[in-house]
Structure 1
Amino acid sequence: MLNLNEDGLIFHAPPKSLAPGAITHDWRDFLGPTHNALSTESPLRETTKLVWERTKGEGYASPCVVAGKAIVFHRLGEQEVIECVAAETGKRLWKFAYVSVYSDRYGFNAGPRCQPISDGKNVYTYGVAGKLTCLSLATGQVVWKRDIAADYKVPQNYFGVGATPLLEGNLLIVVVGNIAGPSVVAFDKATGKQVWAAGKGWTAGYASPVPATIHGKRRLFAFLGGDSRPTEGGLLMIEALTGKVEATFPWRSRRYESVNASAPLVIGSQVFISECYGMSGTLLDIKPDGTLIPLWTNKRFGTHFMTAIHKNGYLYGIDGHGPQNAPLVCVELKTGKELWREEPEWVVSVGGKTLRLAPALASLILVDGRCLMLGEYGQLAWLDLNPKGYKELSRTSLFVARESWGTPALSHGLLTLCQNEVGVDGSPRRLLCYDLRATTTLGRKSTD
C-alpha cells in the first residue's frame, strides 16, 4: 500500500485504464445524471478492487463526482466540512468548513444528509441545519452562501434538512418547507438570489426534487411532507421556469412520525411516488392539461428513502423501513401487481464471527444490463432483475457497518461510496473508491 503522505488517506493501487470506447459520465446530481439511478456506464466488471480510502466524519451524504474530482460532505467535531479530492487517488485538492451546532433529536448522527451537487463550475451543498453554500469547484472559495432556515423561518425537521437540491438550467431548486409558504424556492445558481417561490401548507420531507419534460413542458416534481401538525404532504408538480404550481396530489401518512423521503420516479408521462408509513406506492398519469390521475395503488410496496428503479415495464425497490423485513420487490408498472418479493440472507464472516445480514435499506443502480445493489451493511451485489425473480451474479463484502444508506457515485468506471458508521472490525467511517473498469466488453460475465 502506498501512502500519499496525507493523514487519513490510504492509496492501495491505481485503477485500470478505461476500455477503448468506454461509455462514461460524471455523477453530478442526486441519483446520477438522469435523476433515477440509471447509469449508461459500460463496460464494467463484477469484481471490485479498492483504489483508495480516506477517513471521514459523521453524515449520510452520498459523494458527488465531477471533472475527475470527488466531493464529500461530512461533519468533523462542530463543523460541516466540504472536501474535494482527486477521484483516482483520493488526494485532497481543497477543503472548506463552517460551524454547525445541529443535534439530532432522534439520536442519529449530526452530519449532513444532502449530497453535494455540481454544474461543473461550482459545487452546491445544503447542510443539515439549512446552510446553503456555493463554492468554486476549482478552488473551494465561497461564491455565495445563505442560511435558508433563518431566511425562511423554517423550524428543525425530524432529522434535519435532507432533500438534496436540484440544478435546473440557471436555477438551483431547494425544498424549503415553510408550512406557511414557500414549500419550494428557485435561486439563481450564480448569485443565490431568489427567482421564484412555490407552494405552501406542506413542510419539507427528505425526497429530492426531480425534473422532466412532460407533454413538451419542463416540469419539476417535489415530494413533501415531514414534521407537521396536522400531518400533511404530497406531490407538487411545478412549472420549472416560472414556479407555477400546476398540480398537487396529497400523499402522506396520517401518522405523525413519518416522512416522505423517496424521490419521485418519472416514467414517460407517469410518475411513481411512495412512502412506507401507511400510504405506500401509487402511480399517477400526467394529463396534457396538467392534472394528475391515479392509475393504481399498491399498499405493500412502500419505499422508505431509497428510490425504486424502472426496467422494461417493471419497478424494483425495497419495501419497508427495515432494517428487518425490508424485502426486494418487483411490481408490474402497468397494473401495480406484485410479482415477487425476496429478502436475501447474506452470510458474512468478520472478526471471527458469522453474521447473517439482509440488504436492509439498500440502494439500487441500474447499469450495464444489470443492477448494482449496495446493502445497508456494506455488501455490494450484482443482480439480474427480471419479472420472474432475481439472480445474484456476484457479491463482495466491502465492510460490515450500519447505516450505509447513501447511493454510491458511479463515474468513469469508479464506484465511490461512504461507510457511515464504525465497522464491526473497528474500521473508521470512510470514503472508499473501487475500480469496476473492464478493459474489454468481455471483462464481465454477460447477463444480457
Structure 2
Amino acid sequence: MAPMTSDPTAVAVAPGSPKLAWARWGLAFALTFSVLLVAPTRLVIVWMANSARESGLALLFLVVLAATSAVTWNLAKSLPEKWSSRTRPVVFGTWIVLLCVGVFVQSGPNSNRAIVAFLFAVGSLWVPWLAWFGFRPASLTRRVSEALLVAVGPLVLVSTVTVEAMRGDNTVDFAWTWSPPRDLAIAFPEPARPAVITTGFDPTPDDFPQFLGPARTGVIESGMRPVDWNENPPRELWRKQVGPAWSGFAVRGDFAFTQEQRGEEEAVACYRVKDGELMWMTKSPGRFASAMGGVGPRATPTIHADGRLYTVGATGALQCLDACSGQVHWSKQILADNEGVDHNHGICGSPLIVDDKVIVSPTGNASSSLVAYDRLTGDRVWQAGQSLASYSSPALLELRGRKQVVLHTQQVLEAHDPVTGALLWEFPWSNANVNNCSQPLVIDADNGRLLVTTGYGVGAALIEVAPGEPHWSVNTIWTAREMKTKFTTAVRVGEFIYGLDDGILACISLADGKRKWKTGRYNHGQVLLVGPTLLVQAEMGDLALVDPQPKKFVELVRIPMLKNKTWNNPTVAGKYLLVRNGEEAVCLEWPVR
C-alpha cells in the first residue's frame, strides 16, 4: 500500500464538483461581461455629464460585483491548471476589447474616439480585478502591485476625459478636460450696424410667429404643398454660422428671429430671410450649459401682432423687445421671481401669449410651474401649478367651448384657466425620468378629446375631459406603448397619428392606438405637417419629405442639410424653409405649388 501524504494545499474534490466549478466560472464570466461591463461605464458617463445620479444602477452594480467576487473565490483550485492560469488574462483581455469597441461605437463624431475608448477600457480594469480578485491565490506583493496598477487607470480617465454633449440616442461627444467649450473659441459675426426695421414687417398669411407654428401644433395649414425635390430640389439662399442654442426661428414678414449663445451672454437675433443679413442682436448676461442638454437658450421667440417680441432664456430671463429694433421694453428673471431653481437641462418652454398676458413655465417650484405676466408691463398676474415644470411649452387649447392653458409638467398634464390660473383638471402621464417635452394634440375639441405623448418607454394616451365641480373629469379612452415622443411632437393626419417613436417614424391608429407601421430612422429629430406632407428634420441634420400613408412608409426624398446634432424645430414661412442647429443656420427656397 502506498504511504499516505499530508498536503495542506490539497483540495478534496467531491463527485460532481467539476460541473459545479464550470457552472461558477460560466456565471462569473456572464456577470462580468454584462452588468459589470455596462453599469460602471454608464455611471461614469452620467457622472461626467453632471446628470441625475442613477442610485438604483449603482446599487445593482455593487451587489453584482460582490456576488461575482464570491462566486470566483478560490475557483481556480477546482479547474484544470491550464484554464485556471489563463482565466484572468482572458478576462482582462476580453474586457479591454469589448469596452474599447463599445465606447468607440457609442462616441460621437466630435470625440477622439479611439483614444477615449482605450482610456475607458484601462480606467475600468479595477472592476474585473475586484470581481476576480480571489480567483487564484497570490502573494501580498503581487496584490499590492496589481492594486497600484489598476488604480492609475481611473485617475487618468477622470483627469483627462469629460462629456461635452449627448444625443437623443445616448451617443456621447467626449472632450479633454483642459479644452475650453468649443463655442467660446468661435468669432461669431456681429451686425455691421444695428438696423431698425422700417419696411417688410407687416403680418402675412405665411408667418410662423411662434414655437411649432401659428397654432403651436406643428401643422402648417397652407394651400401650398411641397413638390418633388428629386425633380425640383430646394435652392439654398444662405448658410451661416450661429451661436449654440436649440431655439427655432419665428418669422414675421421678411424677418426671422431666434436665440443664440454668444460667449457668456444670451442673445436674441433678427435675420433678414431673403439673404441672412443680421439686422440686430440684443444680448444679456447669462449662460446655461450641461453635457446632456448642451449650451444656450432652448426656447423659440414669440411675436405678437403689435410688434413686440417675447423670449425666454435657458437661465430664466424673460424679455419683451421691440422686434423692429431689438430694444428691451422690460425683462424679468422668472426663476428668482417665482422661487424656482435651474432644472437639469435649463428652461425650455417657449412663451405663450394669451390676450394681454405672456405665460411661461419656470422650473423648480411646483406651485409656480405656470406663471402669467402682463405682456406690456412685466407685472406678474398669477402663479399656478400642481407639479414641477418639465421641458414642454404651455399651449392654449379650447376644449368643450372653454379656453384653457395646458402644460405637460414632470408628473401630469394639467389645464388652467387663462384669466385666473385656477386649476381645471390634471391627468397623470409621465416617465421614470420625468422628462416631458411633447405638446398635447387636440383630437376633438367639442367632446374634449386630446392625445398626450411622452418618451422613455411610456407612449401615448387618448383622454376625454368634461366640465365638473370642483374640477373637470378626465376619462382615459386608451393607452398604448406606442408613439414614444422623446423630444418631439406628433401630428394628426385624418384618423392616424404620425411622429418619431424613439427616433423612428411611426404611424398609429387614432381609434385604438395600435401601430400601423414603424420604420424610417431619423433619430430624435422633429416633425412638421406642411399641407399634406410630413417634413422630417433628422437629428443628425438630414431633411426628408414623407407621404403620410397609414398602410406603408413612403419617404419621398431625403437630403443632407446640417452637419451635426439638430434638436431645433424647422420653420416654414411660405416658400422659405429655415433650419438650424447649435452651429449653423440655413434658409432654403423650396419649390411649392
The TM-score range, normalised by the shorter chain, is 0.7 to 0.9
Question: Which of 269, 279, 291 is residue 83 of structure 1 equivalent to?
Answer: 269
2:369 aligned partner: 183
Greater mean deviation of Cα atoms: 271-280 or 154-163: 271-280
Matches within 5 A, 1:274-423: 274-289=453-468, 290-320=472-502, 326-342=503-519, 344=520, 358-402=521-565, 404-420=566-582
Query: Deviations for 1:92-121, whole angstroms, at most 9, x for unmatched residues?
Result: 2211001114332x3542210001111131
Secondary structure at the counterpart of residue 336 of structure 2: helix
Change (3 A) 1:398 1:103: closer
Q: What amino acid does structure 2 have at the position aligned with 1:435?
A: E
The counterpart of 2:451, out of the listed 239, 251, 272, is 272
Q: Which runs of 5+ in 1 are unaligned?
A: 1-5, 10-22, 226-232, 321-325, 345-357, 421-428, 442-448
Structure 1 residue 77, shift from structure 2 partner: 0.9
CA contact (8 A) 1:39 1:365 kept: yes
| Structure 1 counterpart of 2:414, from 210, 213, 236 | 236
Shift of the 197–44 alpha-carbon distance from structure 1 to 2, 3 Å rule, reads same
Moved more, 140-149 or 269-278: 269-278
Q: CA deviation at 1:147?
A: 0.5
The alpha-carbon deviation at position 244 of structure 1 amounts to: 1.3
Amino acid paired to 1:26? D
Length-normalised TM-score, structure 1: 0.82
* Deviation, structure 1 residue 146: 0.3
In 2: Cα distance, 1:213 partner to 1:101 partner: 36
1:16 aligns with none
Instruction: Give SS of 2:497's match.
Output: strand
| Secondary structure, aligned partner of 1:181 | helix
More strand by share: 1
By how many angstroms is 1:178 displaced? 4.1
Q: Which has the higher contact order (CA 8 A, sep 6+)?
A: 1
Q: Is the 8 A contact 2:288 2:297 kept in 1?
A: no
Pairwise CA RMSD of aligned residues?
Answer: 1.8
Structure 2 counterpart of 1:355: none
Structure 2 distance, partners of 1:182, 1:154, is 8
SS at match of 2:555: strand
Computing the radius of gyration over CA atoms, which structure comes out larger, 1 or 2?
A: 2
Question: Residue 287 of structure 2 contacts residue 296 of structure 2 at CA under 8 Å; is this kept in 1?
Answer: no
What displacement does 1:65 show? 0.8
1:162-173 to 2 correspondences below 5 Å: 162-173=348-359
CA distance in 1, matches of 2:225, 2:430: 40
Structure 1 contact 24–40 (Cα < 8 Å) conserved: no
Choose from 409, 415, 438 the match for 1:224: 409
Whether the aligned pair in 2 keeps the contact of 1:209 and 1:264 (CA below 8 Å) is: no
Higher helix share: 2
* Residues 482 and 514, structure 2, Cα contact 8 Å, conserved in 1: no
For 1:51, the aligned partner's letter is L
Identity of aligned residues (%): 27
Residue 261 (structure 2) pairs with residue 261 (structure 1): no
- Cα distance, 1:298 vs. partner? 0.6
Q: Which residue identity does 1:163 align to in structure 2?
A: G
Aligned match of 1:17: none
Q: Distance in 1 between matches of 2:463 and 2:481?
A: 15
Deviation larger for 274-283 or 64-73: 274-283
Q: Secondary structure, in 3 states, of the residue corresponding to 1:393?
A: strand
* Counterpart among 116, 139, 149 of residue 301 in structure 2: 116
Aligned: 1:432 with 2:579: no
Output the CA distance in 2 between the equivalents of 1:406 and 1:33: 17
Q: Secondary structure at the match of 2:335?
A: helix
1:280 and 1:44, CA in 2 relative to 1: closer, same or farther beyond 3 A?
closer
5+ residue gaps, structure 2: 1-187, 192-203
